[in-house]
């Protein structure tokens, strides 16, 4: 059955509440590789409950995990992949909070019957206690089995252009063989990232790392290389996912700095693959 464009565009969820503590904050940081060297005092601030505890900005993608915005969407979920992730930080994330999330579908674009569809959604997250807006998330999913529904063909978010010159800086970070098993405890329990039989049925030789774990690893690279681990300097973090990572591979993040815009892409050391393209980080 083809997608119902009007129904899809009416989907929203309002007032969803979630609570996280410093435990979840530390678990997320560990899941994207922080704290591998327990003597690294800069990373320790992300994985240890000190009075000046810091939060990885990309943790914003998991603090409202399970939100219901796309509940009721008649999508072929087996054919869904995460295409893009966008994040705007209005304030640094607190180490613990109760939050309120309001989400809605903002776009649905038809790429053709044999090419799939793009579904764009947006979530605003507020601190319940203060009412302050903490962040705005934007996500594009690629619904490979849902093209040809008659929706608009143009107007999807335009990816950021990365400079063509040599990178101004690069950061090489290893992932662990068990990293997907750790990262999934932050919310995404998809068996694709844990079950070898499920991964094989999906066409992979073994479970793959979550795209959002790669996203968080890229943020860790920026924190380490460009802002001296100061999480408050990251104001936005946008990417396009382009290939999967297998846990245990090494992610190299290449960065280009132009005023307050830090462009970046991520590639693998072990094989010829770019896993994140069109990266844009706004610094402040």
Q: What is the CATH number of the domain that holds 241?
A: 3.10.129.10
Do both 119 and 192 map to the same domain?
no
pLDDT of residue 2: 83
The predicted model gives 9-23 an average pLDDT of 97
Would you say residue 1 has pLDDT above 80? no
Do both 176 and 112 map to the same domain?
no
- Cross-strand bridge partners of residue 135: 89, 125
Residue 202 banded pLDDT, cuts 50, 70, 90:
confident
Do both 129 and 195 map to the same domain?
no
Would you say residue 9 has pLDDT above 90? yes
Active site residues per annotation: 188, 193, 208, 211
pLDDT in tens, 17-62: 999 999 999 999 999 999 999 999 999 999 999 999 999 999 999 9
pLDDT of residue 10: 96
Q: How far is CA 16 from the centre of its chain?
A: 20
Q: Copy the structure tokens of residue 58.
A: 């990309």
- Domain range for 177 is 169-283
Do both 135 and 247 map to the same domain?
no
The predicted model gives 165-193 an average pLDDT of 97
Residue 153 within any structural domain of the chain: no
Residue 77 banded pLDDT, cuts 50, 70, 90:
confident
Do both 131 and 199 map to the same domain?
no
| Alpha-carbon gap, residue 3 to 104, rounded angstroms | 17
Residue 162 within any structural domain of the chain: no
Do both 19 and 72 map to the same domain?
yes
Count of domains observed in the chain: 2
Residue 266 within any structural domain of the chain: yes
pLDDT of residue 266: 98
Residues 6 or more apart in contact with residue 90 via CB below 8 angstroms: 132, 133, 134, 135, 136
Q: What is the pTM of this model?
A: 0.96
**E strands in 63-175:** 80-89, 97-112, 116-127, 133-143, 169-174
Do both 131 and 214 map to the same domain?
no
| Alpha-carbon gap, residue 231 to 28, rounded angstroms | 14
């Amino acid at each position: 059955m083809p997608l119902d464009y009007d129904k899809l565009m009416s989907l929203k969820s309002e007032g969803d509440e979630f609570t996280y503590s410093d435990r979840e904050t530390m678990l997320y940081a560990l899941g994207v590789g922080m704290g591998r060297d327990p003597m690294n005092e800069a990373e320790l601030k992300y994985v240890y409950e000190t009075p000046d505890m810091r939060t990885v900005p990309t943790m914003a993608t998991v603090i409202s995990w399970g939100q219901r915005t796309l509940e009721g969407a008649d999508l072929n979920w087996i054919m869904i992949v995460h295409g893009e992730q966008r994040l705007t930080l209005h304030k640094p994330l607190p180490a613990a909070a109760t939050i309120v999330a309001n989400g809605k579908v903002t776009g649905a674009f038809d790429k053709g019957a044999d090419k799939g569809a793009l579904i764009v959604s947006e979530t605003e997250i507020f601190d319940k206690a203060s009412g302050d807006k903490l962040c705005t998330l934007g996500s594009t999913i690629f619904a490979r089995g849902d093209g040809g529904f008659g929706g608009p063909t143009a107007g999807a978010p335009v990816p950021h252009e990365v400079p063509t010159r040599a990178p101004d800086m690069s950061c090489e970070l290893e992932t662990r063989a068990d990293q997907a098993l750790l990262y999934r405890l932050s919310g995404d329990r998809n068996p694709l990232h844990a079950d070898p039989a499920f991964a094989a049925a999906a066409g992979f030789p073994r479970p793959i790392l979550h795209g959002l774990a790669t996203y968080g690893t890229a943020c860790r690279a920026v924190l380490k290389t460009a802002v001296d681990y100061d999480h408050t300097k990251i104001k936005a973090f946008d990417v396009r996912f382009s290939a999967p990572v297998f846990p245990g591979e090494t992610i190299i993040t290449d960065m280009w700095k132009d005023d307050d815009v830090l462009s970046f892409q991520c590639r693998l050391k072990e094989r010829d693959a770019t896993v994140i393209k069109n990266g844009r980080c706004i610094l402040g």
